[in-house]
Amino acid sequence: MSEYRAPIREMQFVLKELAGLDEVAQLPGCEEAAADVVDAVLEEAAKFAEGVLSPLNVVGDREGAQFQDGQVTMPKGFKEAYKLFAESGWTALGSETEWGGQGLPKLVATPVSEMWKSANHAFALCPLLTGGAIDALVLSGSDKLKQTYLEKMVAGEWTGTMNLTEPGAGSDLAAVRTRAEPQADGSYKIFGQKIFITYGEHDMADNIIHLVLARTPTAPEGVKGISLFIVPKFMVDDAGRLGARNDAWCASIEHKLGIHASPTAVMAFGDKGGAIGYLVGEENRGLEYMFIMMNVARFGVGMEGVAVSERAYQRARDYAKERVQGTDIGVRGSVKVPIIVHPDVRRMLMSMKAKTEASRALAYVVAGAHDKAVHHPDAAVRKQHQAFVDLMIPVVKGWSTEIGIEVASTGIQVHGGMGYMEETGAAQYLRDARISTIYEGTTGIQANDLIGRKMARDGGATFKVVIGLMRALDADLARHDGLAAIRRRFAAGVDALTSAGEWIVATYAADVRAASASAVPFLTLFGIVAGGWQMARAALVAQARIDAGDSDPFYPAKIATARFFADHLLSQADGLASSVTDGAAGVMALAEEQF
């Protein structure tokens, strides 16, 4: 059973050649992100991921989190690993220095988080949710709330959660019924139940800070009547000391297909008289604030897709090199060979490698754009990059997680029958990956967000800018005869995406049901073409290095992988575009009683 090895060479290439690390390092507040510093961060993160987190991955899967009498005990080694994780400063990597963070840009934090997720998906969910809670407090919390909670959360001494879903309110947050009753001292008493709360209870940190959506007595119906509250597991006094246990309890944890070491809690608030909570920001703006956490989480979940792809690819590749079976096709009298020699196994490995590299490159590029949206001194440039980030977040989340499932499934196929056996470890990746297309909004929700809020709302203006950036690559590709096939496939893919996007924008206004029926095929098309865009850019960089005399085998491998992506994935663009523009009628063709 192979262990995880961080793909640092690949990460460095994407950071420096595609995502614009040098540009980000010149932004105000990002000066610490010099290339040598980033290289050192990646090396240290790799040591922790490979040496501490990866060996616990199977342990966590087999033991799982254990629930008894309202308490959750983490699998063997997790509590100690988390303590070391926090003491090593990893919880503070991307947080603001004002609260004890290291202030490194998102572009640097992104490959580090990928390592955590590849090494141990279940463990990585805890800092992911805490990071989202930190961001929500930084942007929306009062000075008192920030002073009380942020330093401990940034230091990793306390963790955070996101409490949205209720038994009768899944994705429809307008149906939230948890209530918040105002008290004379300015606090609130929270009553209600939340489900699917990741790390809602555990024994790794001294306190858990729950961010909870609830309604005040005067709140209007619907999403406009939702407020956001901090509800700590243990009360905190003015000096920052922990006090009495709050009335926020874990009623049970879920028994899940995967991520067994991540406790998914049913949380009961107020069963013993009322959980004390504190309003974040203004009443009735809770959904707005929660979406701060949601966008952080959606990008982070997209990175889970990238991460599981990398882990599944590594295991399948290593197995294919070791597993000897069959003779070499077309070679008379051949001896038994490793299965990596066989063309179909090679095809599967190439598909895993190409999808992983494309989804990683796209995510890192979006992370770099995020840093420019936050730190660039020119307001117009910030606005431009924020529009790009907003457009691409549902693609990163939706497409990358679907890719993660595909790659993990292919990894099992590479193993053959042994892939279906838990002993090889390949099956765990598929089980763990399956949730990633569901939580923080299903692929369908991401797709409808993409076509509605992110495209139809601005008439496709930002989409057209992205198409322009893609088309601008054509002249550079045309200068290299060896990249002609990539150029041809990519150009056709951009044409297909353009026509499908124009149809979506026009149809959304005239027939929103038809547009929604085509939303997921459109998101898939967008992901493939956007991934192909980054692979074409990577091929251009690699070709330039080869032309300059660089003999590093990394570069011809990059071109070959980009060519595979073009031939096997970009070639699907026309069919997907047809599904978008012609397929809506078939989706709605049957009456309900015909199913």
- Between CA 511 and CA 520 the distance in angstroms is 16
For 498-532, give one letter per residue: b (16+ CB within 10 A) or e.
bebbebbbebbeeeeebbbbbbbbbbbbbbbbbbb
- Between CA 387 and CA 463 the distance in angstroms is 9
- Between CA 129 and CA 110 the distance in angstroms is 15
What is the identity of the amino acid at 75? P
- Between CA 6 and CA 314 the distance in angstroms is 10
The DSSP-derived string for 377-411 is S-HHHHHHHHHHHHHHHHHHHHHHHHHHHHHHHHH
Geometric angle at alpha carbon 129, from 128 and 130, rounded to 5° = 90
Tokens of 486: 């990539």
Are the C-beta atoms of 560 and 478 separated by less than 8 Å? no
Q: Tokens 């041809």 belong to which residue?
A: 488
Are the C-beta atoms of 401 and 306 separated by less than 8 Å? no
- Between CA 272 and CA 246 the distance in angstroms is 9
- Between CA 141 and CA 170 the distance in angstroms is 26
Residue of 486, 532, 514 lying closest to 585 (CA atoms): 514
Show which residues are catalytic: 440
- Between CA 493 and CA 528 the distance in angstroms is 8
Are the C-beta atoms of 57 and 120 separated by less than 8 Å? yes
Residue of 4, 9, 6, 13 lying closest to 540 (CA atoms): 13
